[in-house]
Structure 1
Amino acid sequence: MKYKAKILIVEDQYMEANNLEVMLRRADYRVCTVARSVSAAVKIIEQEGPDLVLLDIQLKGRLNGIDLAKLLSRKNIAFIYLSGNSKQQFLDAAKITRPYGFLAKPYREKDILIMLEVALYAHQENLSLAKQRLDITADRNMGNPAFAGMIGQSDQIRALQQHMLRIASSDVSVMIFGESGTGKELIARHIHLLSTRARQLLICINCAALPPSLIESELFGHEKGAFTNALDKRIGRFEQADGGTIFLDEIGELPVDVQAKFLRVLQEKEIEVIGGKTKKVNVRVIAATNRNLQEDIIAGRFRADLYYRLNVFPLVSPPLRERKEDLPLLIDHFIAKISKVEGRSVTGISDVAMQEAMNYDWPGNIRELENLVHRSILLGTASIIPTFGHLPEPAGKTAIEKSHLRTIEEVERDHIIAVLEKCNWKVYGPGGAAEILGVKVPTLNSRLKKLNIEKVRVKSSDKGLRSHHKG
């Protein structure tokens, strides 16, 4: 029998650790001695040398999982966090340690195994990348047509280009994370141009712009007469991209039922045409989002298995406020480009205008910068832009930061309550909450107790039942 990687479980709850160990051994993973504390884990790491660690964030004792994560990072050992009743302050601190993923308790065996495969693959890619550092200089960028239009010399852009070059020749799925206006589609185009598929089509789709009733037909196609108003046969976008690359922007906007069919494309390399037969397709998938998909998974809006299939190699498109040293290059680029289109002879900006740009946070990112330069050229009469005028007051925080960022516990609690209310607080049996949530009754009862969810009858002025949070 061929065994897979060696996994260390660091978990102080006996039943949860035991269940994890059973799952891993059943999948032919080698399992180290289970560690109940950070000190025990350190000894086991030295003695048994795990390839990856499943690490509970909150452990009993003076040191927690985040403390151990720092040691794992120094030793180049991959790790995935196990999180249950974790507060936002713990999650924020955990993200800084750059884990290969989070598993929210209670977790399903399928999710654990998929995340392990993805994490181990990504870790090997990162180790290989570290050994083969590609020194991408500005001169080389300008000479490489694949990076034309990707302006910048900041550390963030250089690191991003290194990763793009590293993965371009592979057919691995790529997920691009980033705020609106940071150039996620441009990144996808460069990856395609650098790949062996460059001579084939790149099909770009904005999932948020597709009407829900037409999404499936748009992606997979339909036969004539397949449904009302299907007057002609339609070739879907996946079939159009056969042999090339498909870029799905705002992937988080796909309805859950379409996500299931998209998952089949990734797993089976085939599409199911509406009203027709299945067809094999050879397509490289690049997806992008500005949403928190892990929160969407917990809320039931995005499939965990699809997320892990797509997120084999994540890339981050940095916001403009985090790479302001690139502003002079970007402004010069847009001035040259827009002046040519508009027939103007603008050659640069004043020191005052540059200072204005450096002091602004650019919540709309590169798209906002380009629009501002365009407007300034159209309204100005001089050969340089003297000022950008009255810039909007910096919001101070992004839209995501402005909103209340709920903890995993809060999201899970609200989701469970919504399901309970939908089934009139029936916990077990056909149509009960346990069946809908896909968990065993004892597991659900345990979560109800852990999250302090109980059913109470509210005042007579309010009809029905509501949940009550003790605390």
Structure 2
Amino acid sequence: MIKKDKILIVEDEFIVAYDLKIMLTKNGFLVAGIASTTERARQLIEQKKPDWVLLDIILKGTETGIDLAQELHQKRIPFLFISANTNHTTLEAAKATQPYGFLVKPFRERDLFVMLDIARYRYAVERGHIINFAEESPKSDISIEGIVGKSASLMNVLEKVMIVAPTNTSVIIMGESGTGKERIAQAIHQHSARKDKAFVTINCAALPLNLIESELFGHEKGSFTGANQKRIGKFEQANGGTVFLDEIGELPLEAQVKLLRVLQEKEIERIGSENAIKIDVRIIAATNRNLEKEVAERRFRLDLYYRLNVFPIELPALRERKEDIEILANYFLKKFSNNVGKKMNGISENALQKLRTYHWPGNVRELEHLIERSVLLTSGHEITDISLPNAIQTNEVVNTMSGAINKMEEVERDHILKALKTSNGKVAGVGGAAEILGMPAQTLYAKIKKLGIKISYY
């Protein structure tokens, strides 16, 4: 947020409003006024022409901040919500007005200005001051090593990678398991000024609950039972480089609080130490969950969501980029035939057709594993058939024709159970459920535990 931006405060609690005014004025902003009702806010907007509005949801009078937010959106006046109310209904209504941030009360001064900085960046992106993806067709000649395909949806992703990579902006990568989120994160790191520094991956789903803080931030010798020597945490290992928080949606709430502090203050404390250590890391997060839904159901902190969601990149599922299936299949064929010293000429049209019509619940990772297995099992010079896991075809995931749409966790649970049945209860290794689903075995174990699935042999 540049200095001298004019901000209107719409807040009916006098103490909160006055504190906000002091914070903003002290940091060089102009306060256009304070309104405790939507009616007064409209008057000040007309008179003062604010650049931004800080907007509470519950106000005096019959109208709420959400009513005013709808008008602000129509007038293209950017705003941020400040509220203690984060229930599902309120969040959905607030989201529909397309705010540039949501600050949860109570908050610290530092939190306010981090959120304002993020909001300004998002606003600039939308207005095209940085880039406007909606007005430009993706380039078709972008190439990043290890990322294969030519579909428009993939080119759009790669264009975003090339734009955001040179910056220090936080990135969140969203997409189903197996779509290549870590590969995209690595590409961002490799095309940044941090490329010669560490790229540290943290699988949030695989962190032991009792050791999360030690794993992330380290500990001093003797700080707790079993701490026989000093440990340098992942964030400290990545100093100067990039931290990739894979499956951020699986991080427990208590750990989310600690992570938020680190992101805002850019410093850590090892367990057992009273000295803060300054760190310089770029954050890239990834998730296959709908974080907005997780926020609404109070499993993910709203302030952390907005802190991470500065530059979102959504990866398409493989079934949404079917024109890339043949390119990918031949890429993996060449890779694995070279690895095992086989001379393979290609894949038959019959086999390719089976690949094109399959639903690909495990996405690119599942395709990779299937081609690897087919190379090993093929005795000739051409793959003429592909053995697909019939137990988890498309029509078994959601029966939309009958209107029977299950909750995501129910669908995920059923999906995992079917994969376990197909693998006879085997989770890891060749032919295991993790391979069938196209995800790391550690991740699958974490999901099995979270969903309360009992592993048995079918």
Give 3-state SS (helix, strand or coil) of 2:209's partner.
coil
Task: Check conservation: 1:221, 1:273, Cα contact below 8 A.
Answer: yes
How far did residue 353 of structure 1 move?
2.1
Which residue of structure 2 aligns with residue 352 of structure 1? 350
How far did residue 101 of structure 1 move?
5.8
Matched residue type, 1:128:
H
Which residue of structure 2 aligns with residue 153 of structure 1? 150
Which residue of structure 1 aligns with residue 129 of structure 2? 128
Give 3-state SS (helix, strand or coil) of 1:213's partner.
helix
How far did residue 188 of structure 1 move?
0.8
Give 3-state SS (helix, strand or coil) of 1:214's partner.
helix
Change in 2 beyond 3 A, CA 1:67/1:4 = closer
Task: Check conservation: 1:168, 1:191, Cα contact below 8 A.
Answer: yes
1:4 aligns with 2:5: yes
Task: Check conservation: 2:165, 2:192, Cα contact below 8 A.
Answer: yes
Task: Check conservation: 1:53, 1:78, Cα contact below 8 A.
Answer: no
Which residue of structure 1 aligns with residue 261 of structure 2? 264
| Alpha-carbon separation, structure 1, partners of 2:265 and 2:69 | 38
Alignment of 1:364-383 (within 5 A): 364-383=362-381
Q: Deviations over 1:268-319 (max 9, x none)?
A: 2211011223211111111111223233334433333222222222221221
How far did residue 350 of structure 1 move?
2.1
How far did residue 213 of structure 1 move?
1.4
From 283, 286, 293, give the equivalent of 2:284: 286
How far did residue 99 of structure 1 move?
6.3
Give 3-state SS (helix, strand or coil) of 1:231's partner.
coil
Matched residue type, 1:403:
K
Task: Check conservation: 2:360, 2:367, Cα contact below 8 A.
Answer: yes
Task: Check conservation: 1:7, 1:52, Cα contact below 8 A.
Answer: yes
| Alpha-carbon separation, structure 2, partners of 1:69 and 1:339 | 59
Q: Deviations over 1:408-457 (max 9, x none)?
A: xxxxxxxxxxxxxxxxxxxxxxxxxxxxxxxxxxxxxxxxxxxxxxxxxx
Matched residue type, 1:339:
S
Change in 2 beyond 3 A, CA 1:205/1:137 = same
Change in 2 beyond 3 A, CA 1:241/1:138 = same
From 154, 159, 163, give the equivalent of 1:162: 159
Change in 2 beyond 3 A, CA 1:333/1:274 = same
Matched residue type, 2:121:
Y
Task: Check conservation: 1:241, 1:283, Cα contact below 8 A.
Answer: yes
Alignment of 1:318-333 (within 5 A): 318-333=316-331
From 241, 246, 256, give the equivalent of 1:244: 241
Q: Deviations over 1:307-337 (max 9, x none)?
A: 2222222221221122222212211211111
How far did residue 388 of structure 1 move?
2.0
Q: Deviations over 1:121-171 (max 9, x none)?
A: 112134234369888755441xxxxx1011122222222122212211211
How far did residue 389 of structure 1 move?
3.6
Alignment of 1:162-311 (within 5 A): 162-276=159-273, 277-311=275-309
Q: Could you tell me the TM-score, scaled by structure 1's length?
A: 0.66
Q: Could you tell me the TM-score, scaled by structure 2's length?
A: 0.68
5+ residue gaps, structure 1, are 142-146, 407-471
Task: Check conservation: 1:182, 1:365, Cα contact below 8 A.
Answer: yes
Change in 2 beyond 3 A, CA 1:92/1:373 = farther
Give 3-state SS (helix, strand or coil) of 2:245's partner.
strand
Task: Check conservation: 1:23, 1:109, Cα contact below 8 A.
Answer: no
How far did residue 373 of structure 1 move?
1.4
Change in 2 beyond 3 A, CA 1:272/1:139 = same
Change in 2 beyond 3 A, CA 1:190/1:271 = same
Change in 2 beyond 3 A, CA 1:65/1:343 = farther
Alignment of 1:429-444 (within 5 A): none
Give 3-state SS (helix, strand or coil) of 1:288's partner.
strand
Task: Check conservation: 1:152, 1:329, Cα contact below 8 A.
Answer: yes
1:312 aligns with 2:310: yes
How far did residue 249 of structure 1 move?
0.7
| Alpha-carbon separation, structure 2, partners of 1:158 and 1:55 | 40
Change in 2 beyond 3 A, CA 1:371/1:31 = farther
1:339 aligns with 2:337: yes
Change in 2 beyond 3 A, CA 1:298/1:115 = farther
Give 3-state SS (helix, strand or coil) of 1:186's partner.
helix
Aligned residues between the structures:
383
More moved, 382-391 vs 313-322: 382-391
| Alpha-carbon separation, structure 2, partners of 1:69 and 1:182 | 37
| Alpha-carbon separation, structure 1, partners of 2:345 and 2:182 | 28
| Alpha-carbon separation, structure 2, partners of 1:360 and 1:99 | 39
Give 3-state SS (helix, strand or coil) of 1:361's partner.
coil
| Alpha-carbon separation, structure 1, partners of 2:73 and 2:330 | 41
How far did residue 254 of structure 1 move?
2.4
Matched residue type, 1:234:
R
| Alpha-carbon separation, structure 1, partners of 2:229 and 2:181 | 34
Change in 2 beyond 3 A, CA 1:131/1:383 = same
